[in-house]
Chain A
Amino acid sequence: MISLALFVLLGLALLVLLYLFARRGDSGVEGGAAALVDARQALTCLQTGLLPAELVDRVFNEDDWRFVRSKSGKRVQELFLRERRRIALSWVGQVRRQVLGLKQFHSGQARAYARLDIRTELALALSFASLLALCRVLEAVFYLHGPYAAPRVVGTAILVAGKVCIVSEQSLAFLEPGGAGEIPRQSPGGASAA
């Protein structure tokens, strides 16, 4: 009698597990596509909207401040510093959000598409952690001391973000036509059509 109850319990547990695995598989496909799209958008936003050298240079180069300081009154100087601090905070906030998006992609879906070796994965994890920490430091520094207080930290953040973008680019390369890591398309019969 006891053994029968155990078998029934075991059977029920297996059924529950089967159900959970089936649900996970379903959401994985949908979630995977959404994660890929989000990651691609985050990468594009970083590469074209936030990290281009001329844009970062415009925000953090002190030449503009020197010009404003030498050619205008106190009211305009205050306006400039207020505006530039707001822009710097907006920049670092957006970088952090996009990097978080890429991190979620790498910790969730990337393994299924890009075969990164363990050293690359560890280096990437370290880069994400340090980049997110740098962004928090920059937010505090910009808020307290203005946009020109930590040029080296800005430079380091851009460098690390650039590395993260390169690895993410490789992980998402299969999305591009003829990408290096393109997933082979399956024919209805299961044979690779690529």
Chain B
Amino acid sequence: MVAKRMDVQKAAQDLRMRTLATLPRTLDRFIYLASTRDYNTGMYYHDGLSARFSPEAACEALADCHREAFHRLVAMPMEQLVNEMEAYIASQSYPRDFISVWKGLQPYRVAIPVKADPFSAELLFSNFRVALAIVEERLLPPHHSKQAA
């Protein structure tokens, strides 16, 4: 049991040093880590990490880092969240479509860890909605954002 946990910690450290080091923003990490999870099973997959450690250790390490990113986002001041969201949207090919989809489909709702605390999730969703509205206001002229709403 202890050896298994040590393996997970090593895998998580490896993940932070390699893959996550290329993603400096917490929001980017959060979205990336959520995307490594199978929506049907809730299991996380990462080929490189599984090859270096084991599929189980990789899954646990990804889940740990995902929870960590989630908690950081929940505790993040609104100003920082807006900056991260603005930078994330700017890195996308179609910022206007992005805002429209995030407002409509709210894909961030399925990006939270499986056993996330319900109140923390509720707070994060609320903060996402406000941050998105602020970014939208900055990127799009007022009459356009009214049409999109």
Distance in angstroms from B148 CB to nearest chain A CB is 12
The number of chain B residues touching the other chain, given as a range, is 20 to 34
User: Is A40 at the interface (CB under 8 A from chain B)?
Assistant: no
Q: What is the bound-complex CA distance between A102 and B21, given in angstroms?
A: 44
User: Is A87 at the interface (CB under 8 A from chain B)?
Assistant: yes
Which residue of B79, B118, B120, B129 contacts A55 across the interface (Cβ within 8 Å)? B120
Which residue of A50, A67, A79 contacts B129 across the interface (Cβ within 8 Å)? A79
Which residue of A45, A57, A76, A91 contacts B130 across the interface (Cβ within 8 Å)? A76
Q: Among residues 26 to 84 in chain A, which have CB atoms less than 8 Å away from a CB atom of chain B?
A: 45, 48-50, 54-55, 57-59, 63-64, 67-68, 71-73, 75-76, 79-80, 83-84
Q: What is the bound-complex CA distance between A72 and B132, given in angstroms?
A: 12
Nearest B residue to A70, CB-CB: B79
Contacts of B87 in A (CB 8 A): none
Helix, strand, loop or mixed for chain A's interface? helix
Asked whether, in the complex, the Cβ of A71 is within 8 Å of the Cβ of B134, the reply is: yes
Distance in angstroms from A177 CB to nearest chain B CB is 14
Helix, strand, loop or mixed for chain B's interface? helix
Q: What is the bound-complex CA distance between A80 and B123, given in angstroms?
A: 12
Which residue of A48, A58, A72, A79 contacts B123 across the interface (Cβ within 8 Å)? A58
Given contacts A48-B117, A76-B130, A94-B119, contact A58 B74 (CB under 8 A): yes
Asked whether, in the complex, the Cβ of B126 is within 8 Å of the Cβ of A86, the reply is: yes
Asked whether, in the complex, the Cβ of A72 is within 8 Å of the Cβ of B137, the reply is: yes
Given contacts A71-B134, A76-B137, A83-B126, contact A64 B78 (CB under 8 A): yes
Contacts of A67 in B (CB 8 A): 77-79, 82
Q: What is the bound-complex CA distance between A90 and B125, given in angstroms?
A: 13
Asked whether, in the complex, the Cβ of B123 is within 8 Å of the Cβ of A49, the reply is: no
Q: What is the bound-complex CA distance between A193 and B79, given in angstroms?
A: 58
Q: What is the bound-complex CA distance between A50 and B120, given in angstroms?
A: 8
Can you give 26 A-B contacts (C-beta < 8 A)?
A: A48-B117, A49-B117, A49-B118, A50-B119, A54-B75, A55-B74, A55-B75, A57-B75, A58-B74, A58-B76, A58-B77, A59-B123, A63-B78, A67-B77, A67-B79, A68-B78, A75-B133, A75-B137, A76-B137, A79-B133, A84-B126, A86-B126, A87-B126, A90-B119, A91-B119, A94-B119
Q: What are the 10 closest A-B residue pairs judged by CB atoms, nearest first?
A: A64-B78, A49-B117, A54-B75, A83-B126, A67-B79, A76-B133, A80-B130, A72-B134, A49-B119, A67-B78
B interface list, Cβ under 8 A from A = 74-79, 82, 117-120, 122-123, 126-127, 129-130, 133-134, 137, 142
A interface list, Cβ under 8 A from B = 45, 48-50, 54-55, 57-59, 63-64, 67-68, 71-73, 75-76, 79-80, 83-84, 86-87, 90-91, 94
